[in-house]
């Protein structure tokens, strides 16, 4: 009996464990990110993604129905992970300029991330091919970053530290000042993304310019002159 039990235990230990679907999707999305980035959308096949992920084509199709869904899922997953730990509400300094600098650095780290820029390039390339990839990228990425910054600005307005007529517009303007020019230069001019010190200097300038126009107590005094 002891021998039989030992054999049964060994058989149980030898059975391959079933990987959860969520974990398998992560492997597939990671493989897809490398394939799309290296080969572009058109040249990437489901078979090469499955091979890189170490899964069968049948398994991939069971979880993700087609290449368009794979691309959209990969982009959405990357942005979800990038934005998962963004909590601008936790940024709190006695000085509003320091607080704004910290909030804008968090946004800049996302907006000027090399992988996010690479995803934007792919999205632009495939805008005419896939129906809503650009819209999905805008909603899941750009809009979510702007919404997080708008929520943070709204808190500062309630605290009486700044005065704004339209918080959403202000958030868009701030993000534009911080990231639009460097992002365009990288995407269309093959210019290297700014270094960390360069981003910090740009953010510091943008924060100062912004606060000159909306810091509580200073805005009204300028308007009365």
End-to-end CA distance of the chain: 97
Question: Using an 8 Å Cβ cutoff, are 85 and 131 in contact?
Answer: no
pLDDT of residue 96: 87
What is the chain's mean pLDDT, rounded? 83
Per-residue pLDDT of 72-91, as tens digits, reads 888 888 877 777 766 676 77
Per-residue pLDDT of 127-155, as tens digits, reads 666 557 777 778 777 888 888 899 999 99
Higher pLDDT, 102 or 122: 102
pLDDT of residue 64: 96
pTM of the predicted model over 0.85:
no
Q: Is 215 helix (H, G, I), strand (E, B) or coil?
A: strand
**If you search the block for the tokens 């997080």, which residue do you land on?**
148
Per-residue pLDDT of 6-23, as tens digits, reads 554 555 555 556 789 999
Cα(159)–Cα(164) distance, rounded to whole angstroms?
Answer: 12
Per-residue pLDDT of 179-204, as tens digits, reads 999 999 998 998 999 999 999 999 99
- What would the two tokens of residue 139 be? 């909603």
Question: Using an 8 Å Cβ cutoff, are 74 and 156 in contact?
Answer: no
Q: In sequence order, what DSSP letters do the residues of 151-168 get, joined into one string?
A: HHHHHHHHTTSB--S-HH
């Amino acid at each position: 009996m002891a021998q039989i039990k030992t054999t049964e235990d060994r058989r149980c230990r030898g059975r391959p464990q079933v990987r959860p679907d969520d974990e398998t999707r992560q492997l597939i999305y990671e493989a897809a990110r490398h394939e799309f980035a290296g080969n572009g959308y058109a040249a990437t096949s489901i078979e090469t993604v499955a091979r890189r992920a170490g899964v069968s084509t049948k398994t991939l199709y069971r979880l993700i129905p087609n290449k368009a869904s794979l691309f959209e899922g990969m982009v959405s997953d990357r942005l979800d992970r990038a934005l998962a730990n963004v909590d601008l509400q936790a940024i709190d300094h006695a000085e509003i300029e320091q607080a704004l600098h910290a909030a804008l650095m968090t946004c800049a780290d996302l907006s000027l991330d090399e992988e996010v820029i690479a995803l934007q390039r792919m999205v632009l390339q495939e805008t005419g091919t896939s129906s809503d990839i650009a819209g999905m990228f805008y909603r899941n990425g750009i809009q979510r970053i702007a919404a997080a910054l708008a929520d943070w600005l709204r808190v500062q307005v309630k605290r009486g530290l700044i005065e704004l007529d339209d918080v959403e517009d202000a958030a868009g303007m701030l993000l534009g000042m911080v990231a639009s020019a460097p992002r365009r230069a990288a995407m269309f001019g093959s210019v290297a993304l700014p270094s960390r010190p360069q981003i910090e200097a740009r953010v510091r300038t943008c924060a100062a310019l912004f606060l000159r126009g909306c810091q509580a107590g200073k805005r009204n005094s300028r308007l009365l002159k």
